[in-house]
Structure 1
Amino acid sequence: MIRKHADDVPAEEIKKPGVSGMHARFLLTADDGCPRYALRLMEFAPGGHSPWHRHKEEHEVYILEGEGVVVGDDKEKTPVGAGDALYILPCENHMFMNTGEGMLKMICTVPLFPGMSGKDTTPCDE
């Protein structure tokens, strides 16, 4: 068994085009010996957002705290908050945005494709 506390996993700033105020704590990944899924804690500062993107991995997301919106293929801004669960399909365009005054925190899982660590995802055009 592996046990970690989220506070003991450093928050890594995500520095990619289209990203603002986003950090990730890679709680459990292939680096820990996880064979099938990675567990990540994503944190968005007020006004922060992910890029508009898509990838081959599905997402299962659980909102822990804060207020925001998720934008999907339909371009609709769907409000999300603590207690909401989301399923993002493989290759579905999506974007997360913090619309609240506090932090937006979410648990995000992704499957581990061969050769992937769980820190990055696989573009749909590969």
Structure 2
Amino acid sequence: MVVKHWKEVGEMKPSEPGAGGVKLRVLIGEEEGAPNFIMRYFTVEPGGQTPYHTHPWEHEVFVLSGKGEVRQGSGRWSIGPGSVVYVAPGEEHQFLNVGEEPLEFLCMIPISK
């Protein structure tokens, strides 16, 4: 078993082009011995966004705080505290902060991606 506080985990900045004002922390993953899933904590600063991208694995997202939008194709959906988002494998997507405070969310992905 692994127990720790999320603030003990170091922040990283995504290296993908198109990301701006984004930091992430890998809270649980292979280093902790997790065989199936990675749990990540994202912070998107006001006006920031993740890159518009796709990949062959799914995401499960739970929004903790802030005001944002998730983009897929020509569609945009408002998200905020308590919103849950499922991104299917191969689906183009992007998370944008449209509020005045940081947009914070948990994002789970499979390890065998």
TM-score computed with the length of structure 2 as normaliser: 0.96
Q: 1:13 — aligned with what?
A: 13
2:48 matched residue in structure 1 = 48
Give the superposition deviation at 1:28. 0.4
Distance in 1 between residues matched to 2:15 and 2:100, nearest whole Å: 22
How far apart, CA to CA, are the structure 1 residues paired with 2:82 and 2:17?
29
Q: 5 Å matches for 1:52-67?
A: 52-67=52-67
Mind listing any 5+ residue stretches in structure 1 that lack a counterpart?
114-121
The letter of the residue matching 1:59 is H
The letter of the residue matching 2:22 is M
**Shift of residue 15, structure 1, vs aligned partner:** 2.7
Runs of 4+ in 1 over 3 A off after TM superposition: none
Identity %: 35
* 1:80 equivalenced with 2:79 (yes/no): yes
**SS at 1:31 equivalent:** helix
Q: Distance in 2 between matches of 1:15 and 1:110?
A: 18
Residue 27 of structure 1: how far off its partner (Å) = 0.2
Partner residue in 1 for 2:71: 71
Ranges in structure 2 where 5+ consecutive residues have no aligned partner: none
**Structure 2 counterpart of 1:29:** 29
1:16, distance to aligned residue in structure 2 (A):
2.0
- TM-score, structure 1 length as denominator? 0.86
Any idea what SS the aligned residue of 1:13 has?
Answer: coil
Shift of 1:14: 1.7
Give the match for residue 95 of structure 1: 94
SS at match of 1:56: coil
